[in-house]
Structure 1
């Protein structure tokens, strides 16, 4: 069977409520994860005897293990959705996530909190399956816009979630976990009554194949086509570059610009607002007018410029100039995903999205360590020249390499311009 989906392929008719649900599902899951971001380190610190050094070490362990678990679990979740349909995987994910947040809310010890974090990495299937769902119900020429819509949900969630979590954590460090549990369980009930299945029985995989659901097996799938393999490398570099913000931004902003927690919070909200706006309002319009390949390469180029501006910025206001440029970097993600979906069959979309999610998790295993060590090296007291912006310049180089690979891998790709 050909893995390239023809443009004339019919798509399962679904109610508008189903597409809205997928958007809401991603938004609520991001809100749930975002809510605990400001309080989880403090809860760990409390459980380790209020020792900052011990807490910092455990926070790193929690983050690395979460990424490692997602790296293993994502292709399994994708393969299960190809075999049994998207709906049961999404619903079980939301139910498991809600129950897991309850476990973390009542966890009396560090090891039980750690177990909860591992389970949350296993149950966070909605991101993988939501992308496969969108590929099921959206024509190929409109997938970039649909993936951009999901990117908008990420942006909105990361604006509201951490702010809400910080506010709730001021009353009780465990309160955000209860609220996150309520959101995930409400999502499960909403989906149980509203979400239709997007993958018909006749388009599902004939059987569940464990070898293709393993991380290495799923990554082998990315080597079938030159376009998919090249773009999978670009996606890995894309994800890796993101970790410079998650890892060193707070320390960098304090060291170079003397921004406190409040200023950092405002800047992160600005990042989320710009990114969400670009994903929700520009991606679809620009890909329809200029084509996916051009928008992809332009987006990656904006990322290179943005990270370079941030790395060389000696004052805070210059750093802020890089934020809208950074949001335009986000234009590259949806076209990459859209192009990749056109090279696999309907019964492989889940495995494709699981493999792509695994790339992000793989980047998360060692990305934070890479950028943290680079920052520490750049500002070490014994160094005669301090260059705190080096991690951002490294991110610019990684994204630049991704732009070159993307352009070369898609040279044979059709323009993908659709009529407006």
Structure 2
């Protein structure tokens, strides 16, 4: 019962965090365009700046998320959740105050810097928390519910954005982000994943300074092991299933990064979408995702397995982008958004497969490793899709195909789908799991 109560507080924390951070997504494209290219539906500067920001954030998270995941194995999930959730408040406060060109650039800098730590960290730590408290047999359902709660938060946030002004959207988001941090600190129970001799508070009182030199040396060695990239390399090289999962995560994130880099700007240029239309589209997508993750995934995952669900989700993503790239009318994006009922199961299925490849002491590192691979994809993604989108939405396109960059997003999902068909069933017992302690890197 105590573990279930802990999970319920985790779900509320994830709900509030996702609600705050992601409710601004329907508005941010209009804010960017208004600040950089007022009165226009096409703006190469906006596309390039958004892509550059995504690449820089990806470089930061590539280093930070695996480190944060491993630190949480030592210091507990709650202590490490505090940092990214607090940092995510700052950019929201800036745009809540003003969305002029000057304040947009201030937001741009703060968003880039803070997202290097906050982007993806809450999801990574929440997944590790679930793995701490749920047995393997029920883990895929629990991860599906966790992802569904996050998607439900996006639905609620997007619905709120649909009826709020742009200024009110950022004000509400900033307030809810603050409430999420307060709730998490007050109610979430921590989990300690390493033996008590190694679990240490991150902030020491004055009396702690007088501890023995031997104990201090032990802490230093713990931090050195945490900061070593060798552990990440060991994880990728020690299991065929894990390495294939990382390959799938790379191309899945390459495609998802392309959605941010080009899809919304394609809809803006091709069909003159605004904040409300973006919100309507995101509502359809996320309602389908919530239904899938809360109901379909817990029902079918135990029957057909996470591996088949992963493949189904990735192939649905390919079909979605293929049809969007040749969209001939404004209703097409709304119609094909229904594919997200299947696409949304890909990431939680992949995370469940990963969680079963390692023991209980390496959950933070394993999830952080996959998040790091995804972050690397997010560095590359805007370098590919932003120039393609800017080129094919301009008058300089080598041939007339405005949705060419969107079709290329679908090809990345097809690569992930092909790789997913080679993933074998994850072990359901402690035998055959990777243990980082078995692979020492000097």
Query: Do Structure 1 and Structure 2 share a fold, with TM-score over 0.5?
Result: yes
Partner of 2:14: 26
Partner of 2:157: 161
Partner of 1:133: 129
* 1:77-134, Cα deviation, whole Å (9 max, x unpaired): 1111111222322244444545775577679964586246413432453221111111
The answer for unaligned runs of 5 or more in structure 1 is: 1-12
Partner of 2:317: 303
Contact 1:41 1:59 in 2 (8 A): no
Counterpart check, 1:199 vs 2:193: yes
Alpha-carbon distance between aligned partners in 2 of 1:340 and 1:359, rounded to the nearest angstrom: 13
Alpha-carbon distance between aligned partners in 2 of 1:343 and 1:251, rounded to the nearest angstrom: 39
Contact 2:127 2:143 in 1 (8 A): yes
SS of the aligned residue for 2:421 comes to: helix
Alpha-carbon distance between aligned partners in 1 of 2:18 and 2:25, rounded to the nearest angstrom: 11
Mapping of residues 1-400 of structure 1, within 5 Å: 14-37=2-25, 58-98=49-89, 110-111=105-106, 114-115=109-110, 117-123=112-118, 125-164=121-160, 170-171=166-167, 175-176=171-172, 178-189=174-185, 192-197=186-191, 199=193, 201=195, 208-210=222-224, 212-213=226-227, 217-383=231-397, 385-400=399-414
- Which has the larger displacement, 329-338 or 207-216? 207-216
- Which has the larger displacement, 100-109 or 132-141? 100-109
Q: CA deviation at 1:23?
A: 1.6
Partner of 2:211: none
Contact 1:215 1:355 in 2 (8 A): no
Contact 2:26 2:276 in 1 (8 A): no
Alpha-carbon distance between aligned partners in 1 of 2:313 and 2:195, rounded to the nearest angstrom: 37
C-alpha spacing 1:240/1:218, structure 2 compared with 1 (3 Å) = same
Alpha-carbon distance between aligned partners in 2 of 1:45 and 1:247, rounded to the nearest angstrom: 14
SS of the aligned residue for 1:409 comes to: coil
Contact 2:51 2:261 in 1 (8 A): no
Q: CA deviation at 1:186?
A: 2.9
Alpha-carbon distance between aligned partners in 2 of 1:378 and 1:42, rounded to the nearest angstrom: 20
Paired residue total: 401
Q: CA deviation at 1:373?
A: 1.9
Alpha-carbon distance between aligned partners in 2 of 1:31 and 1:214, rounded to the nearest angstrom: 34
Contact 1:213 1:351 in 2 (8 A): no
**How high is the TM-score relative to the length of structure 2?**
0.78
Alpha-carbon distance between aligned partners in 2 of 1:276 and 1:174, rounded to the nearest angstrom: 24
Alpha-carbon distance between aligned partners in 1 of 2:117 and 2:401, rounded to the nearest angstrom: 38
- Which has the larger displacement, 291-300 or 131-140? 291-300
Q: CA deviation at 1:313?
A: 3.1
Q: CA deviation at 1:237?
A: 0.8
SS of the aligned residue for 2:344 comes to: helix
Contact 1:307 1:326 in 2 (8 A): no
* 1:291-320, Cα deviation, whole Å (9 max, x unpaired): 222222222222222222222332333443
- Which has the larger displacement, 374-383 or 78-87? 374-383
Contact 2:357 2:426 in 1 (8 A): no
The answer for unaligned runs of 5 or more in structure 2 is: 200-217, 430-442
Alpha-carbon distance between aligned partners in 2 of 1:331 and 1:270, rounded to the nearest angstrom: 16
SS of the aligned residue for 1:279 comes to: helix
**How high is the TM-score relative to the length of structure 1?**
0.81
Alpha-carbon distance between aligned partners in 2 of 1:43 and 1:304, rounded to the nearest angstrom: 29
Contact 2:48 2:387 in 1 (8 A): no
- Which has the larger displacement, 134-143 or 101-110? 101-110
- Which has the larger displacement, 86-95 or 108-117? 108-117
